[in-house]
Structure 1
Amino acid sequence: MKSLLLNSSGDLELDQFKSLEMVEGPAEIKQQIRLTLLTNRGEWFLNLNFGTPWLDLFRREISEEEFKQETVTMLNDIVGVDQVEKFDISLDTQTRKAKVTLVILIESGEEIILEEVV
């Protein structure tokens, strides 16, 4: 499968000829994981169930454990993900930011290590 390549700010990436760049394989899976984590649930108008329930967590509508379970289930549903091996979250309620560290095993046998501040 192939997807449009997004740069670190979430914008479409263009090559030297101003054509859209594509991504596939482990890089595509990593991009999908990152996109899922950085999107608040309900934010994308085409699929209100897409994304991570960050607001629920920061409003304390769900516990951290419920949040982890729901997020791991969501990440396991991404095509190409075999299992989430490690999921650590460090919340800062003052700044309303979270540091997420993930180790994910993909179907090819490779590990994806991702650290994001959301």
Structure 2
Amino acid sequence: MKSFKLDEKGDLILQNGSFIMIEGDEELAQQARISIKTEKGEWFLDPEEGMDRGPLFSKFFNEAEAKDNILESTMGTSEPLNFESIIFNRDTRNRKLTVDIIMRKEDDETLALEGVEF
């Protein structure tokens, strides 16, 4: 499968006046990132797409529930992914949260998503 390459903000990337296309591991990682960064119910064509971010921003952070929501949000990717690790980096002073994720594909290769911001 091929997709347009997106930057960290979700904008299409142009190079020499043409859109950049991606496939393979890069495209699969982008699918996972999009699913995680999409708020559940945000996309009107599929209200179940995306992630429930409630546990990420609650007063009492529940890491287990947040991990479960990340896992659930990526179930619609084109290939099943198993999660090796999910590390939350909480900056309470600046009220920022980033997540580093390592996933394993069916062929036993790993994919990494680093610095996914919420």
Q: What TM-score, normalized by structure 2, do the two folds share?
A: 0.78
What are structure 2's unaligned runs of at least 5 residues? none
Partner Cα separation in structure 2 for residue 7 and residue 82 of structure 1: 22
The SS at the match of 1:69 is helix
Give 3-state SS (helix, strand or coil) of 1:31's partner.
helix
Asked if the contact 2:51/2:72 (under 8 Å) is kept, the reply is no
Describe the SS at the equivalent of 2:77. Answer: coil
Q: How many residues align?
A: 117
Letter in 2 for 1:79: S
Give the alignment's Cα RMSD to 1 decimal: 2.5
Work out the percentage of aligned pairs sharing the same amino acid: 32
7-16 or 68-77, which deviates more: 68-77
**What does residue 7 of structure 1 align with?**
7
- Are 2:18 and 1:22 equivalent residues in the alignment? no
Q: Deviations over 1:24-80 (max 9, x none)?
A: 000001111111222222222332222221135313699432221232133244222
Contact 2:6–2:12 (CA under 8 A) maintained in structure 1: yes
Match of 2:41 in 1: 42
SS in 2 for 1:81: coil
Q: Is the 8 A contact 1:58 1:96 kept in 2?
A: no
Report if the CA contact (8 A) 2:55-2:65 is conserved. Answer: no
Contact 2:36 2:73 in 1 (8 A): no
Shift in Å at residue 87 of structure 1? 1.3
C-alpha distance in 1 between matches for 2:89 and 2:3: 30
